Each structure stands twice: as structure tokens, then as C-alpha cells.
Amino acid sequence: MKILSILHSFLEKADITGKWKMERIFAGRDRLSADDFYTRYFRDQGYPEDTVIRIKKVFDSNIGFDLSRLSAEDDFSKELNFIWNYDSLSDVEAVVGLEREFGIKIDDSEAGKMKTIKDVVQVVHAKLNNGHSTKSLALHRPF
């Protein structure tokens, strides 16, 4: 019972520390819906809206923090690396989630190069356009 109490206390402290770090990093940023995130960071680059929104949802569901103030350039290997310390399987879960969502395979070297959401969008978009998906592509509107 004592071990469970210690573990619970540790997780509470890690959660509070992680939330504090997120607040510090995202201070002054607007919270964005998935649609607003796409519009702000990807629409003018020609990426399909559906792809970006689905990627963002995979990250939102696999990372235990509010990512509504995330930018396309926030680096998970630098300022956001504490996320992986909080939950060491989050990165694996995010990659597996992307593979399932899009019917693609992301090898370890590709995953290691994906440091920002922009990197993830580029990799997933390239795989979908090169026919690496086992799922049918959703139609998207031209820009």
C-alpha cells in the first residue's frame, strides 16, 4: 500500500510540474481549435486539412497535456522534451496512433527525425502521396 501511495504522490507532482512547464512555454498564446491550428500553420502550405486535423487529434489523444496552444514549430526534442519524461511511452503511442490512423508505417529513423508537428505533417503527407497508405485517402478541397 505504501508503494502505491508513493507512486501516486510522484505522479501528482509530475503532473503539476508538467502543467507548470506547459504554461510557461505557451504563455501568451491563444488556444486554437483543430481548424484554427490548421488555418494558422498549414493552410497556406497546401497540406490537406483532414490530414493535419487527424494528426493533431492523434497527438491530443496520446499526450497527457493540453496542446491547444501548440505551434507547428514547437520542438518535442527541446522545449517540450519533458513530455517524454512524464510518460516515456507517449512518443511510441503517438507513432502507433499515426500508423493506425493513416494506415502507414513509420520506421524508427523517420520517427526520430519527427521533432515538430510540422515534421510529422510532412512525413505523413509524403507517405500518403506516395501510396504508402493501406487506407483510402479522404478527398480534400483544393487550395
Q: How confident is the model at residue 102 (pLDDT cuts 50, 70, 90)?
A: very high
Per-residue model confidence (pLDDT) at position 13? 45
List, for residues 14-25, the tens digit of each pLDDT value: 455 556 677 787
Average pLDDT over every residue of 106-115 = 92
Given the C-alpha cell 503532473, which residue does it identify?
15
Whether the full predicted model's pTM is greater than 0.85, yes or no, is no
Per-residue model confidence (pLDDT) at position 45? 94
CA distances to 49, 52, 98 from 69, rounded to whole Å, are 18, 15, 21
Please check the confidence at residue 143 and state whether its pLDDT lies above 90.
no
The answer to which of 30-34, 64-68, 84-88 has the lowest mean pLDDT is 84-88
Average pLDDT over every residue of 19-37 = 85
What's at 60, amino acid-wise?
D
What's at 92, amino acid-wise?
V
Smallest Cα–Cα separation from 32: which of 83, 76, 71? 71
The answer to which of 36-40, 59-63, 86-90 has the lowest mean pLDDT is 86-90
Distance CA 128, CA 112 (A): 19
Q: How confident is the model at residue 8 (pLDDT cuts 50, 70, 90)?
A: very low
Count of alpha carbons within 13 Å of 34, Cβ hemisphere only? 14
